[in-house]
Amino acid sequence: MNIYMWLILILISFLSVTFLVRLHQIRQFKEYRYFRFYGYVLVIWSVITILRNVVSEPFFIYHLGFLVYPIVFLIVSFLYMTIKIYIGGQVSQYLKIFVLVFFLIDLAVSLTNSLHQWVLKLEYSSSISTEAFSTASIGVFFYIHTMVCYLLMFMGLYYLLKLFIINFKREKDMYPFIMFFSSILLGIILNIIHVFFFPFVIDPTYIFMVVVGVIMLNIFRNRDLRLILHANGNKDILDHSREMHIISTHQGMVIDCSRNLKVKYKELISAGVTLKDLKDKLKETSILYINDRELVDDFDSTKRYYHVKEQRIKMPHFRYFGRLTLLYEETADIKLISEMDRIMSHDLMTGLYNRNYFENQIPILENTNNNFGVIIIDVDGLKLHNDYLGHKSGDELLINFLNMMLQICNENEELIPIRLGGDEFLLIHKHGDLELLEKIAQDLTTKGLAEDPIKSIYFSYGISIRDQKRSKFSTVLRDADANLYIMKEKKIDAKKVLEKKFKALEAKITNS
């Protein structure tokens, strides 16, 4: 073999080793395990090809020449399996058994060719040479071997070419189609030259298989989003980060996700699921949000909170982008913020909404409700309870009134109960009319009555509704406050009578 052929052989062999090294870098991706086996066998073929041109011992020349046949079968089989998985199929157990059995038969028949000459009509002799293999007559098993290899190879190439053509028509994705078509064209040209014009010392099928492997690896690395992230060093970071992640194609199909998602939704993901469907499934037990404005006021302790961030993944030589979805768990933070918001918007003693919440609701009511109404309430007798029976009695009075008010609110979902401070309360009805608000006030009055006047809960109230004259909330509230003080003025005498009863009770308690 001349120096030029040696340079070509060394170049192709180096390419096969480099190809295997690059495959080894993605060994954690199980979908490419058969492609990795393809690389291993390709390197073995390179070693055999070099040895066939180096050794001079007839035994090695003869048996290394026949060892190529089972090697070629393994190469083609692993290529077919790789393509089968890449297009979304499965490698059946029957195919694995067939490959194993036929490989063992191919290996046994090839290495014992000197006994039966089923592969080539070539006997073992001390004068055997490499050139003798290209001039020997073909045996019956050679046809069987060739037919099986070509059938597997053409089936695999057909499936892959069909997929690339579909993607080319649908998405104008020219890169895989052009690269793959170029490799097939190269293989055809090499074989035509080898058969009709100039026989190569180096097997053109070997060169073709190396080139196909390198091109397919480049296609996979430029179209598989996981390999793109891995090449950038991001996949390992994602796998070891606390955030959950989902990788999806430009068509929205999920191709990879965090380990805990794979475990929880194994069947769903293995069956093929879109990013939307996976998010919908997550929403059954979680709350997903992009910004804080999407969150409701009340914290849901039965669900996990995930802050969603998405970014595009650039795919080389392609106009579309993949998508990386990151899910940051913010449950503890949202719970803390919710508790702080509750403290800011709720009265600590009664648990009702406070003045801060009330002031924040004013612009909302003015912009969204046309006919809201208010009942402003002043609990009578709080000072009497505090002065004559102690602050504990005054607190009990407020709690009892609170329970009455909440009972009314439970009966009417349109009511918003607010404690303005001290003994002042406010009921806002989002869609109330004057008659309805009067009924609510009367129901509340009735609930407060008891046989013992001291145990009764008395209060004064003022009602006002929004109409054309009262467009601003401040106007509605001012009118209600004015009506409140009219009622308080009417109850001055009743308050004096009640105060005498408290004095008498205090004296009785003191004397006892």
Say how many residues make up the chain: 512
Report how far residue 258's alpha carbon sits from residue 205's, in angstroms, rounded to the nearest whole number.
41
Average pLDDT over residues 60-86: 92
Q: Is the pLDDT of residue 41 over 90?
A: yes
Segment (H or E) for 228: helix 225-231
Q: Which pLDDT value is given to residue 106?
A: 95
Tell me the domain boundaries of the chain: 3-223, 229-337, 346-511
Phi, psi of 412 (to 5 degrees): -140, 105
Report how far residue 231's alpha carbon sits from residue 165's, in angstroms, rounded to the nearest whole number.
26
Among 37-41, 293-297, 374-378, 422-426, the least confident range? 293-297
Report how far residue 36's alpha carbon sits from residue 21's, in angstroms, rounded to the nearest whole number.
9
| Rg (the chain; Cα; Å) | 42
Q: Is the pLDDT of residue 172 over 80?
A: no
Q: Is the pLDDT of residue 366 over 60?
A: yes
Q: Provide CATH code, domain 229-337.
A: 3.30.450
Q: What are the C-alpha distances in Å from 70 to residues 13, 55, 99, 212?
A: 19, 20, 10, 19
Q: Is the pLDDT of residue 6 over 90?
A: no
Phi, psi of 281 (to 5 degrees): -65, -40
Q: Is the pLDDT of residue 283 over 70?
A: yes
Q: Is the pLDDT of residue 76 over 70?
A: yes
Question: Which amino acid, 285?
Answer: T
Summarised one tens digit per residue, pLDDT across range 12-27 is: 888 888 888 888 877 7
% of the chain with per-residue pLDDT over 90 = 22
Average per-residue pLDDT in the chain? 84
% of the chain with per-residue pLDDT over 70 = 93
Q: Is the pLDDT of residue 238 over 70?
A: no
- The three-point CA angle 360-364-367 to 5° equals 145
In the numeric block, the tokens 């919710």 are attached to 338
pTM over 0.85: no
Average pLDDT over residues 72-99: 91
Q: Which one has a higher pLDDT value, 293 or 82?
A: 82
At how many degrees (to 10) do helices 355-368 and 331-345 cross? Answer: 90
Report how far residue 200's alpha carbon sits from residue 384's, in angstroms, rounded to the nearest whole number.
114
Q: What are the C-alpha distances in Å from 476 to residues 139, 355, 365, 395, 444?
A: 105, 16, 12, 30, 21
Average pLDDT over residues 200-212: 84
Summarised one tens digit per residue, pLDDT across range 405-424 is: 888 888 888 889 999 888 89
Q: Which among 342, 352, 341, 484 has a CA at the least distance from the CA of 420?
A: 352
81 burial type by CB count under 10 A (0-12 exposed, 13-18 middle, 19+ buried): buried
Summarised one tens digit per residue, pLDDT across range 111-162 is: 999 999 999 999 888 888 888 887 888 999 999 999 999 899 889 888 888 8
CATH topology of domain 3-223: Rhopdopsin 7-helix transmembrane proteins (1.20.1070)
Which residues on adjacent β-strands are paired with residue 121? 137
Q: Which pLDDT value is given to residue 486?
A: 92
Q: Which pLDDT value is given to residue 43?
A: 93
Average pLDDT over residues 216-236: 71
Among 34-43, 146-155, 174-183, 355-364, the least confident range? 174-183
Reduced 3-state DSSP string for 32-95 = HHHHHHHHHHHHHHHHHHHHHCCCCCHHHHHHHHHHHHHHHHHHHHHHHHHHHHHCCCCCCHHH
Phi, psi of 421 (to 5 degrees): 140, 145
Report how far residue 161's alpha carbon sits from residue 139's, in angstroms, rounded to the nearest whole number.
33
Q: Which pLDDT value is given to residue 121?
A: 92
Q: From the DSSP assignment, how many helices (H) and strands (E) are in the chain?
A: 21, 11
Q: Is the pLDDT of residue 292 over 70?
A: yes
Q: Is the pLDDT of residue 404 over 60?
A: yes
Q: Provide CATH code, domain 346-511.
A: 3.30.70.270
Categorize the per-residue pLDDT at 231 as very low, low, confident or very high, splitting at 50, 70 and 90: low
Report how far residue 235's alpha carbon sits from residue 226's, in angstroms, rounded to the nearest whole number.
7
Q: Which pLDDT value is given to residue 56?
A: 85
- Residue 494 in tokens: 């009743």
Q: Which among 152, 157, 153, 174 has a CA at the least distance from the CA of 165?
A: 174
| Percentages of the chain per state (helix, strand, coil), in multiples of 5 | 65, 15, 25
Q: Is the pLDDT of residue 229 over 90?
A: no
Summarised one tens digit per residue, pLDDT across range 449-469 is: 887 778 888 899 999 988 765
Q: What are the C-alpha distances in Å from 36 to residues 27, 79, 89, 311, 453?
A: 8, 10, 18, 31, 91
- Residue 134 in tokens: 């290209």
